[in-house]
């Protein structure tokens, strides 16, 4: 089975593939397009969207931990974008999620250890796609 046919038969496979293959600038640009610069800045632990623009333009590179958090956020945003619009995805990232003990996915991706938060947020996104 080719990657293209797998991507259409398995939700999120394309988003995952892109999240590991794309450079940081492409990850940040894609995230900024879907969830907005403010939310990318929040997940990336910076207080100004200027840093997000600089990451997207390749003028600055975030730390390795931030890059990994942004890759997971990109994977999730791409998964949700297969069926949802940008406004819904932004709300999903910011809203209290019952599958995450009423925590916002963006907050978990920003503040919690990624090896714990990443799988939880991805699972919550998959459930949202299956139920939603």
pLDDT digits (tens, 9 = 90+) for 45-65: 999 999 999 999 999 999 999
More confident residue, 4 or 105: 105
Total residue length of the chain = 132
Is the pLDDT at 4 greater than 60? The verdict is no
pLDDT digits (tens, 9 = 90+) for 100-127: 999 999 999 999 999 999 999 999 999 9
Task: Please state the domain extents for the chain.
Answer: 3-131
Work out the angle at residue 92's Cα, subtended by the Cα atoms of residues 88 and 95, and round it to the nearest 5 degrees.
Answer: 125
Residue 108's beta-bridge partner residues? none
pLDDT of residue 12: 78
DSSP string, 74-122: HHHHHHHHTTS-HHHHHHHHHS-BGGGTTB-HHHHHHHS-HHHHHHHHH
pLDDT digits (tens, 9 = 90+) for 67-104: 999 999 999 999 999 999 999 999 999 999 999 999 99
Q: Are 64 and 89 in contact (CB under 8 A)?
A: no
pLDDT confidence band for 1 (50 / 70 / 90): very low
Question: How far is it, in rounded angstroms, from Cα 111 to Cα 95?
Answer: 15
Is the pLDDT at 34 greater than 60? The verdict is yes
């Amino acid at each position: 089975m080719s990657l293209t046919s797998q991507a259409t038969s398995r939700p999120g496979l394309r988003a995952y593939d892109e999240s590991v293959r794309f450079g940081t600038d492409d990850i940040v640009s894609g995230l900024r397009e879907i969830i907005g610069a403010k939310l990318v800045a929040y997940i990336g632990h910076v207080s100004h969207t200027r840093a997000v623009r600089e990451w997207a333009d390749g003028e600055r590179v975030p730390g390795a931990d931030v890059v990994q958090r942004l890759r997971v956020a990109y994977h999730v945003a791409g998964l949700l974008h297969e069926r949802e619009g940008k406004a819904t995805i932004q709300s999903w990232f910011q809203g209290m999620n019952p599958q995450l003990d009423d925590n916002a996915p963006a907050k978990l991706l920003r503040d919690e250890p990624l090896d714990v938060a990443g799988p939880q947020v991805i699972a919550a996104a998959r459930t949202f796609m299956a139920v939603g």
